[in-house]
Amino acid sequence: NLYELMFEYQKNINDPVEKLRMVGKGYFEFYSKYPDHFRLLSDIHTPGKFHPPVDDEKHAMIHDKIRDIWLLITKIVKDGKETGVFRESTDPLEVAISLWSISTSMIKMHDFSKYLSGMDDMHSQSVFANFDYLRVININAKRIVYSIMKNPPQDFESMQD
């Protein structure tokens, strides 16, 4: 379960910046271990995506798990605001959506690139053949977190990957 994995990664950490980093690490690990489940979760709200459609009971169960993930991430950001790590003006949901968007889109592109790698001619000609998706996720997540910190590090590179 994605929520349990993300929760476990961050549960013994006090620093909200590190918590967010570890939740992101858990998200990528979930994709790595369970790519089909990742695809299902990332497409569950796409109208007409599933034939036959996911029944209401299963959809509600999945929706509840997704809600729990959003609550986990927004709580980390709220806690960071309360402890003075993040700026008071920070919108926890905006941060969660931003982190989710960059992570999910890069993971989906990475997934597609892996698919293309099975088609040697197409993959070798692809502009994405040697693209480091995980690096892009890390850099952009750092930019998002850096932008909400009250006292960000002087050197962007000093923030952990």
User: For 13-54, how does the pLDDT look when each residue is reduced to its tens digit (9 = 90+)?
Assistant: 899 999 998 888 888 888 888 888 888 777 766 656 554 555
Q: How many residues does the structure list for the chain?
A: 161
Distance CA 142, CA 117 (A): 29
Dihedral over alpha carbons 142, 146, 149, 154 (to 10 degrees): 120
DSSP-assigned letter for residue 157:
G
Element (H, E) at 82: helix 56-82
Distance CA 79, CA 9 (A): 17
User: For 82-91, how does the pLDDT look when each residue is reduced to its tens digit (9 = 90+)?
Assistant: 999 999 999 9
Check if the beta carbon of residue 99 is closer than 8 Å to that of residue 72. no
Report for 1-15, 82-96, 137-151: range of highest mean pLDDT? 82-96
Distance CA 153, CA 56 (A): 47
Check if the beta carbon of residue 142 is closer than 8 Å to that of residue 21. no
**Is the pLDDT assigned to residue 145 strictly greater than 70?**
yes
Check if the beta carbon of residue 44 is closer than 8 Å to that of residue 54. yes
Dihedral over alpha carbons 136, 142, 147, 151 (to 10 degrees): -160
Query: What is residue 46's predicted lDDT score, i.e. its pLDDT?
Result: 63
Query: What is residue 149's predicted lDDT score, i.e. its pLDDT?
Result: 95
> If we measure between CA atoms, which residue out of 148, 25, 5, 150 comes closest to residue 77?
148
Q: Is 149 helix (H, G, I), strand (E, B) or coil?
A: strand
The number of beta carbons lying within 10 Å of the beta carbon of residue 149 is 16
Task: Provide the whole-model pTM.
Answer: 0.81
Query: What is residue 121's predicted lDDT score, i.e. its pLDDT?
Result: 57
Residues 6+ away with beta carbon under 8 Å from 64: none
